[in-house]
Amino acid sequence: MASLRAHIGAWMVRRRVKAPLARAQSVEDVRRILEGAGFPDPRDVTFEPGSLGGVTGEWVRPLSGKADHRLLYVHGGGFVACSPKTHRPLTGALARRGFTIFAPAYRLAPEHPFPAGLEDIVAAWTAFRASGPASLAGESAGGNLALATLLAARDRGIPLPSAACLFSPVTDLTAIDGSRITNGSRDAMFHARSIVEVAPLYVGEGDPRQPLVSPVFGDPAGLPPLLFHVGDREILRDDAIRMAERAKAAGVDAHLRTFPVVAHAWQFADRVLPEAKTSLDEAAAFLKRHADLETSR
């Protein structure tokens, strides 16, 4: 059963984000809405500018100094908005759970359509992984890029992460049915056509069905263990479910959990929302467990 705070949080997101997004007339409007809807920066972690593989970004570490695991985190924002700075509440929450994190500031659409952002993540991942075992995570569009990075790394012979965690990932930029429709009014942040409308900005003149754009059309065989978390009222619910099912069918150790009521990217509210704490606790434990297994081999 969902907490009372989950209901309150969903109501607030619906009022402060969904309604303005429905009125947005430009990419600049979307950026202003998404980038202005965050939480304060956490105070118990450090944020330092950095660069990996020629890609700028941000290092995130806990003030406690206990960060025995390494994580590359890919921020969301509909492929067109946000940055490592906007996602500090989320990366900071993961850092507090014992991770040294690098969050790449990948290039955004429509100024830089596919494959620019993906190539930035692959370059950053290649450099990050060269220093030793590491995990990968991302939410929303960042979850899409994380999954595409897994497919690209596998096919290019780049070492894969120990495991990956995907929070409400966009896995199909062509979908116009299922939860994209049935959850259109229930989703606290997005409308039924939200992904369809933003997809051309990211894909450009490319094919939205190609696996590096829509990972659900790819072959997940050989990918590392995957953990999917998604809200049962999200328009992206079926994106996570279908990707998890395809991964399992291909022999991947894939796990899926759906959360009732929560708004998209509810993990941002780690300090106040029980479901956010639960999601991040589970994700951290999952990533650490598989990283430790790889290290012990």
- Of 83, 135, 140, 168, catalytic: 140
CA–CA dist 125, 121 (Å, integer): 6
- Of 75, 87, 229, 264, catalytic: 264
Q: Do residues 33 and 74 lie in contact, with contact meaning Cβ atoms separated by under 8 Å?
A: no
Catalytic site includes residue 140? yes
Print burial letters for 97-135: b (CB count within 10 Å at least 16), e (below 16): bbbebbbbbbbbbeebbbbebbbbbbbbbbbbbeeebbb
Catalytic site includes residue 255? no
Catalytic site includes residue 264? yes
Q: How far is CA 155 from CA 141, 158, 222, 244, in A?
A: 21, 8, 10, 20
CA–CA dist 113, 107 (Å, integer): 8
How many C-beta atoms lie closer than 10 Å to residue 177's C-beta? 9
- Of 234, 275, 279, 290, catalytic: 234
What residues are labeled active site? 140, 234, 264
